Structure 1
Amino acid sequence: MSQAPAPLQLTRLRHDAEHAAARFPALLAEAERIAASVAHGVHGRRRAGQGETFWQYRHHRPEDGARFVDWRRSAQGDHLYIREVEWEAANAIYFWRDGSAGMQLHSPGLPSKAERASVALMAIASLLNRGGERLSVLGETGRARAGRTGFETVSRALAMGDGEADSVEAADLPRHARLVIASDFLDPVETWQARLSRFAAQGASGALLRVIDPAEDDFPFKGRTRFEAASGGMDSLLFGRAEDARTAYREAWSRHGAQLNDLARQYGWRLITHRTDRPAASAVLALYQALSEPRS
């Protein structure tokens, strides 16, 4: 297979980089606006961990040992209790935004799935950064960082990064890491099962943001319609009457969504499905609430 001359390759790369960079300030501004609006309606995250501020009592478990029993509280009833405190040493949150060609799909007047995924993850990163979390993007930013610099580094990677699948499949995560993955999840369910199984083996968990275009959900096509794969890896499909395929398509689409939901539940993840014709703030709030839930 012939390759384009080096100067032409450089020109294309430069054009793609300049296009992505030009969109970054607008995406960042939108993400910050969404984060500010969501922040007004939520409270800070509270989790058990190292610290001195009382959070809650919970029943003693065998692995806790006797050293952590709160004997004064336990003396009031028939159970042993552990005194838990708020998490003050922030955990790391890892992000990944799917960079596959299909994520560029968008209906007229709507953002692409990639843009909406970037904005939603940048907004949740802003909220988590305000809470002191350390942030990182798989395969893009290296070790997790806190503070404004860490947030801006992550945001740039979410807006302009490649989002290669290898970043997910080769991720080496610290135990108990939390992840937020944004994709259309159109890969076979078996592919995602293998990925979540690997995360589970590392003790990681998190939330899945499934970003879809309304045309994918509704299949509004009629008449003679040609469908082409975004990646160009398969032959196009030509329908004389696209509406004749609507019932079968919707059944397959619904079945795929149900399988993804069952898979997420199996591994203790939260699946959030978001259409790009709906406000991004709804996805951000759902993600924030999912990350605020106690670990199972």
Structure 2
Amino acid sequence: MTPDIDFTSPSTFLITALFIFLGIFGRYVGTALVFNLLVKGAYKHKLAHREVQIRPRRSRQDMVEIGWSFVTSIMFAIAGTLMIVAWQKGYTQIYLDWDTYPLAWFPVSILIVLFLHETYYYWLHRWMHRPKVYRLVHKVHHDSITTSAWTSFSFHPIESTFQALFIPALTFFMPLHVYAIGIVLTIMTFTSAVNHLNTELYPRDFQRHWFGRWWIGATHHSLHHSQFRYNYGLYFTFWDKWMHTESPDFVKLFDKKTRRESKGSGEEVGVKVH
């Protein structure tokens, strides 16, 4: 079942893209504000020792990152609107009726999407670190050596396009309930903000927990921004572990930052900045 609205109409397409853009950019701003207010405001003193700051953030860095994130939100909105058009034309396998597939498929489909997205992004990320590609595509994101929640959507438009097209393309081949897509996008926004927060939120010894050892947090991803050649994952650490690209400093730095008596910076625990 598809709506009677013709999304291929230029005016409807633009209005739809505008509303999707407002939702994406608004979600980015709201999420970043909440995390920054918590970490830099309400819980600043409690979390100060968990900050993984390698270098001070540059002046106006927030505004630069918000500007790139504005462009990223436009790219995501266009991709989302094109996905809606393809759905209306019957090209995708997006469904609304819960009876279309067994209910068990709903959580399974989310896990499959997360695994496939992780795999896609890990290898895309490694490719983007090839010198010629890096300068053209990925350098914008790495201009933020010390990150914050504002960094989470700060990408060059080419990189934004690579990221924006994956889930719409997947809907052509994989049945996905519209709510499953929404949950995946919410997880993407939440984890991106947390991973770029530069302050470790997960509890002590989380990296040794059966789930935590496979889940990326701020310490893990901050090392990617400071060391460049490690920790390429998006949600999970399994590709980094399997391909031996996880930073050798990760466990030591996580331990240091999650012990309340420790006040040192990343460099004090032997993190090599490249």
The structure whose Rg is larger is: 1
Alignment TM-score, normalising by the size of structure 1: 0.30
Alignment TM-score, normalising by the size of structure 2: 0.32
Name the structure with the higher strand share.
1
Which protein, 1 or 2, shows the higher relative CO under an 8 Å CA cutoff with sep ≥ 6?
2
Name the structure with the higher helix share.
2
